[in-house]
């Protein structure tokens, strides 16, 4: 399974923006696994998916047969949070796929420094959608930024016993 969390991709947008936080995504995932009668899984989690996988490990470690984390670890770098907060929820729209790709490159080149222009266009087509007006926009609820900006989002404790720098 490849999950699209609430407010992202083809999943429904939530009318309660307080649900756009890791504990709710963990609860959603656990409910899905229960409904699918999956009692042992391997999680491959990138970024938010890794946070959710780690949350599952904290809540129900016996559920995990294994976990692969990508682009996430026990301590979340404040610079990464600042970068995400700088673009999340701004509701930007672009007239062409090429302009969308260019803006995504501008914001994310630090994350994917080896991407070619074609890679950025492919990335745009995977993470954006065309609106009814024919404009290109990122494929998530702009209200995600409200959950992200909350105090609890910045203070997620991923692994017990890990000390934060400073």
The predicted structure's pLDDT at residue 162: 45
Span 80-107, average pLDDT? 86
pTM: 0.79
pLDDT digits (tens, 9 = 90+) for 53-83: 999 999 999 999 999 998 888 777 777 777 7
pLDDT digits (tens, 9 = 90+) for 110-166: 889 999 999 999 999 999 999 999 999 999 888 888 876 654 545 555 665 444 444
Distances (CA, A) of 131 to 6, 10, 23, 53, 135: 19, 13, 30, 32, 5
């Amino acid at each position: 399974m490849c999950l699209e969390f609430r407010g992202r991709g083809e999943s429904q947008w939530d009318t309660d923006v307080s649900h756009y936080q890791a504990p709710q995504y963990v609860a959603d995932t656990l409910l899905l696994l229960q409904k699918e009668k999956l009692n042992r899984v391997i999680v491959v989690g990138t970024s938010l998916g890794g946070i959710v996988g780690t949350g599952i490990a904290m809540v129900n470690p016996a559920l995990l047969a294994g976990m692969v984390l990508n682009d996430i670890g026990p301590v979340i770098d404040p610079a990464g949070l600042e970068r995400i907060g700088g673009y999340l929820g701004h509701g930007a729209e672009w007239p062409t796929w090429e302009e969308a790709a260019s803006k995504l490159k501008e914001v994310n080149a630090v994350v994917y420094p080896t991407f070619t222009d074609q890679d950025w266009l492919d990335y745009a087509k995977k993470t954006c959608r065309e609106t009814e007006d024919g404009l290109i926009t990122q494929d998530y609820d702009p209200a995600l930024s409200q959950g992200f900006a909350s105090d609890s989002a910045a203070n997620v404790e991923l692994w017990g016993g890990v000390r934060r720098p400073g």
